[in-house]
Structure 1
């Protein structure tokens, strides 16, 4: 096994413990892997802290994942709760600050082996939507796990469409309480994590009714279970929704409420308040209800989506250089499968996508921090742009990454189908993100509404937010590329993406306006245009990510080796997008057929250029073997040995074979006299 060192990461191999096919890849890196790791971590100090945290966790048997793939749903759940509470105690003992880097790196290392993920959302909701008094009351209790919280928004009949939620909260002026009800089966809360078996309290989103009038969705802190014996509170029916595609450790639940009384002070009231006489006071904007969702989306893109794609790339690329198959040249030894162009075309664009999303996350975080700070001051001007950016980015990140992880899995052949590879659980975990925290099609249409509004503003000369300033453009020409290498110029391909986005937004806007002017009702016109609107929003978001990656390259002008490899990855990400969506770019009229062939040639050339650095590029992600928990993706490259070693640990190899005794033995004994 390669040795882990808390200050230096994985020590350089001398070859004796590492598969030679993998070892040779590391000796030809064209850049400093350590420097790239530092960049991804946001600085060498952060890398040092992360490795220290990893070392602490790896040395503690409580956090071992050795038998994870052989555990039942109940074992996964109980283990996750036990580890989470143990981790909280350990964090406190070590003096690691709440929401500090150490805590962040704990979650990066342990990920889906922990419980209370939605408990964190419960706290973020209170911090974002609660008054100072409510924060002071509830957050200390939640931080110490004296209460366990969940975020109950999604209903059996409604998810992303908040205005359609059916849970009701009616204020009773005589008792100074809100009475909460789920009036029919479609109104029951369904899916919230930590609800099924754990939570004692929930932030419940419900339609607020005052004197018979509905004031829209508002959040309420509701106690759903007793702190004495964990039994459901009066009027509460709660339980687990059953097995899912993944997330066995998470107790997703259902919640029905029948005349459940909630004290007046339990309505989160930073932005709206109900007075004792039932008078309603509003502060800010209705869009503030999206704030918590934006907070969550920004967080999951980096911590869940990006990290999962990086892990899949690490496993698949390492396996692709230790797996040998067939001959490239007749008579030669079998070749590393990563030497085949088809394998490169599967894996290297996913690697480029991971790097693109890393820099995209930096950009989104920057915009979010600015918008969040302004919101705290009562300024909401940035919220529409922030919501549109986060929605579009969430769609692109989850769609590209879930598809990318599945490509990585299939690229590992039969062994990628084994749970022991680590890849199936990465995929089933990640594909859920296309739905939770905003269903992707709905999010694209929300982004599209922002784009159509801004397109209309541009037509009358109004100033636009920075991310959509290009919609004010009046002149678009043909692509100026003369030869294939011109498509390695970021100005060329960024302009190509900009034009596609502009044309698709313009086409959808013109069609929408034409239908409305011809007498079609606005809602009907929107539905008729919705496919084009969604595609335009995706094109816009794709453009933003390409543009962001290009701008990030400027930071490394004094580090030529780092800039060179990142430039190759940026080029590959951009050209892969054009290659995979060629029809869009040709239809926009910017590219000619001849230029589309140039794109293809430059794209395929990049595969061979990046291929020698593939292993160093995934090594820069710096996942320990414990983080990856993959038999075929370990640092030492001993995939076959580890697969066999892990398979022998399967409980099925140690259990009595009752099936043989019951069903097979009577049949097999018939052969004894004949053989």
Structure 2
């Protein structure tokens, strides 16, 4: 069964026949009649070919089909609006068609691949994309470029190569641009971007890598003075890059002039071996991005010529004279723009995918039969005098009132905040039950009424659980009187837990005026005071869990806190650093030696 959007295309639309195996190529799909179309629906694509990923099942799940039949708007019009116009939609779909119809870009079975296999596939796709762009007439400044990486879904190498080029274009002089950009564009070199250090992320002024100017040789001597100064995480550095832009503290005649960028060669252009003074490798498995060779880099007396400092805004002259043109912060501009582009090119796309997956799944997922319980049933029992479990007896004692707290210290009294939770939970349960009753009395079926109240029901259930947790926590702490030191810290934790809940859910506590605005300010003040108090005991508290390092199996959470040393040691154990690079001979070497035609 093929489900149609409310607005269908008016002309034949070529697209990958994904109902068949992606390796089987593309086909032309016939459109519906003009009576089913409108002015912007010319870009619409047929449902089956657009959405099915080689499924052996026929048709669309009837639940999803039903959801689409009741749309109150034109899906195609919204797509065009999101794209920024019909031409943008047309271009994006053309790029997607070209990419998805090319078997090299297939993502089939990628989740079954090892780290090595995913890395090699990412390099293969990157090299093939270089050829594909030439064949298709796509350029980096053309309208198609921004859609390419969305179409290949990010599983591609050399993404940091783009940042390498951008750094040179933004921070390099005209002469440097003329020298390096053609080499990078033609992939005679492969670049990376080495800013982040193992011990320093966004605190750029604290970077520890040094570049000392040697006036006698007209070179900069770059060094990684300690483990925390190691460059850590740059993509394409682990096994692919031949060059990188290294950010280091510039020293001239013993004076530090702050962080500056330097072009550094890290691998031979002949055999891809590491250059003298360079220690580099892959940091090992991550929770994601297995296809990216995120790397580490140490420099030991690595010399680069004076001309390799990107000098559009600052320059070291042959006599050691330092000239600045512009703000010192200009050197951070590349990473700032990169992070902005990550939001648009990476984060937003992934969020869109996540929403698509979650919502489609929720439309077909089945839950258990309706069985009014998890509070509404107990409220009815209470109202008729029937016995209920001890955890909900508070529903029988609900009374209007106001929070009696007079100052912020009152909110450190467990009776005060426990009663606030009780009041809040009871109010939400009662109001939700009242809404259910109103709906059913107005003729709404019981099942539909329940579904209409699911948001409030979930809120009421969470409120009840939160109340019981606070109540039990406070009662347990009270029983620790014989352990004075332990009771004190546990009382602080109980207070923090309770006040954090009130602080984070202020609206439900303020809703009926039980807690006033000024009282909420008292809650906030006490909550912030507690953070400073508990901070002093944070490490001893987790030490009390008594996990061994072997049990934790975490470089970041080891008992001795030698985080950076362990991260480096673990990275060195990665099999990728002792195996032959699976992508070099087949892809990187021909690419770097400009023998693409022989691939």
Name the TM tier (shorter chain). Answer: 0.5 to 0.7
Cα distance in 2, alignment partners of residues 198 and 585 from structure 1? 54
For residue 163 of structure 1, the aligned residue among 205, 208, 212 is: 205
Question: Are 1:196 and 2:238 an aligned pair?
Answer: yes
Structural mapping, 1:508-657, within 5 Å: 582-583=505-506, 593=513
CA deviation after TM superposition for structure 1 residue 289, in Å: 2.2
Aligned position for 1:232? 274
Cα distance in 2, alignment partners of residues 144 and 345 from structure 1? 60
Aligned position for 2:573? none
Look at both structures and tell me which one has the larger radius of gyration over its CA atoms.
2
Instruction: Name the SS of the counterpart of 1:305 in structure 2.
Output: helix
Name the count of aligned residue pairs.
360
Relative contact order (C-alpha < 8 Å, sep 6+): which is higher? 1
Structure 1 stretches lacking a partner, 5+ long: 347-578, 597-675
56 and 341 in structure 1: CA distance in 2 versus 1, 3 angstrom threshold: farther
Which of structure 1's runs of 4+ aligned residues deviate more than 6 A? 13-16, 343-346, 584-587
Structural mapping, 1:282-361, within 5 Å: 282-328=324-370, 342=454
For residue 94 of structure 1, the aligned residue among 131, 136, 158 is: 136
Cα distance in 1, alignment partners of residues 80 and 113 from structure 2? 36
Aligned position for 1:25? 67
CA deviation after TM superposition for structure 1 residue 581, in Å: 5.0
Question: Are 1:11 and 2:11 an aligned pair?
Answer: no
CA contact (8 A) 2:509 2:515 kept: no
CA deviation after TM superposition for structure 1 residue 134, in Å: 1.1
Aligned position for 1:266? 308
Instruction: Name the SS of the counterpart of 1:111 in structure 2.
Output: coil
Cα distance in 1, alignment partners of residues 100 and 265 from structure 2? 37
Cα distance in 1, alignment partners of residues 230 and 339 from structure 2? 24
314 and 341 in structure 1: CA distance in 2 versus 1, 3 angstrom threshold: farther
Superimposed CA distance per residue, residues 470-511 of structure 1 (whole angstroms, 9 cap, x where no aligned partner): xxxxxxxxxxxxxxxxxxxxxxxxxxxxxxxxxxxxxxxxxx
Aligned position for 1:255? 297
Structure 2 stretches lacking a partner, 5+ long: 4-12, 16-41, 50-56, 373-444, 459-501, 517-599
Question: Are 1:181 and 2:104 an aligned pair?
Answer: no
Cα distance in 2, alignment partners of residues 119 and 24 from structure 1? 46
Cα distance in 1, alignment partners of residues 267 and 456 from structure 2? 53
Aligned position for 1:616? none
CA contact (8 A) 1:196 1:241 kept: yes
Cα distance in 1, alignment partners of residues 355 and 107 from structure 2? 20
Instruction: Name the SS of the counterpart of 2:284 in structure 1.
Output: coil
Aligned position for 1:147? 189
Structural mapping, 1:372-411, within 5 Å: none
Instruction: Name the SS of the counterpart of 1:228 in structure 2.
Output: coil
Superimposed CA distance per residue, residues 87-145 of structure 1 (whole angstroms, 9 cap, x where no aligned partner): 11101111012143312111012133101111111111111111121112111211222
Cα distance in 1, alignment partners of residues 66 and 513 from structure 2? 41
Instruction: Give RMSD over aligned pairs.
Output: 3.4
Cα distance in 2, alignment partners of residues 585 and 305 from structure 1? 32
Instruction: Name the SS of the counterpart of 2:264 in structure 1.
Output: strand
Aligned position for 1:57? 99
CA contact (8 A) 2:100 2:151 kept: no
CA contact (8 A) 1:2 1:10 kept: no
Question: Are 1:73 and 2:108 an aligned pair?
Answer: no
For residue 151 of structure 2, the aligned residue among 102, 105, 109 is: 109
Cα distance in 1, alignment partners of residues 14 and 200 from structure 2? 49
CA deviation after TM superposition for structure 1 residue 9, in Å: 3.9
CA contact (8 A) 1:5 1:11 kept: no
For residue 124 of structure 2, the aligned residue among 68, 82, 88 is: 82
TM-score, normalized by length of structure 1? 0.50
CA deviation after TM superposition for structure 1 residue 234, in Å: 1.4
Aligned position for 2:588? none
Cα distance in 1, alignment partners of residues 96 and 345 from structure 2? 16
- In terms of fraction of residues, the more helix-rich structure is 1
Cα distance in 2, alignment partners of residues 188 and 39 from structure 1? 45
CA contact (8 A) 2:43 2:89 kept: no
Instruction: Name the SS of the counterpart of 1:250 in structure 2.
Output: coil
Cα distance in 2, alignment partners of residues 340 and 171 from structure 1? 71
91 and 345 in structure 1: CA distance in 2 versus 1, 3 angstrom threshold: farther
CA contact (8 A) 1:218 1:267 kept: yes
CA deviation after TM superposition for structure 1 residue 222, in Å: 0.3
Cα distance in 2, alignment partners of residues 32 and 344 from structure 1? 31
CA contact (8 A) 1:9 1:51 kept: no
Aligned position for 1:390? none
Instruction: Name the SS of the counterpart of 1:10 in structure 2.
Output: coil
TM-score, normalized by length of structure 2? 0.56
Cα distance in 2, alignment partners of residues 128 and 91 from structure 1? 24
CA deviation after TM superposition for structure 1 residue 582, in Å: 4.5
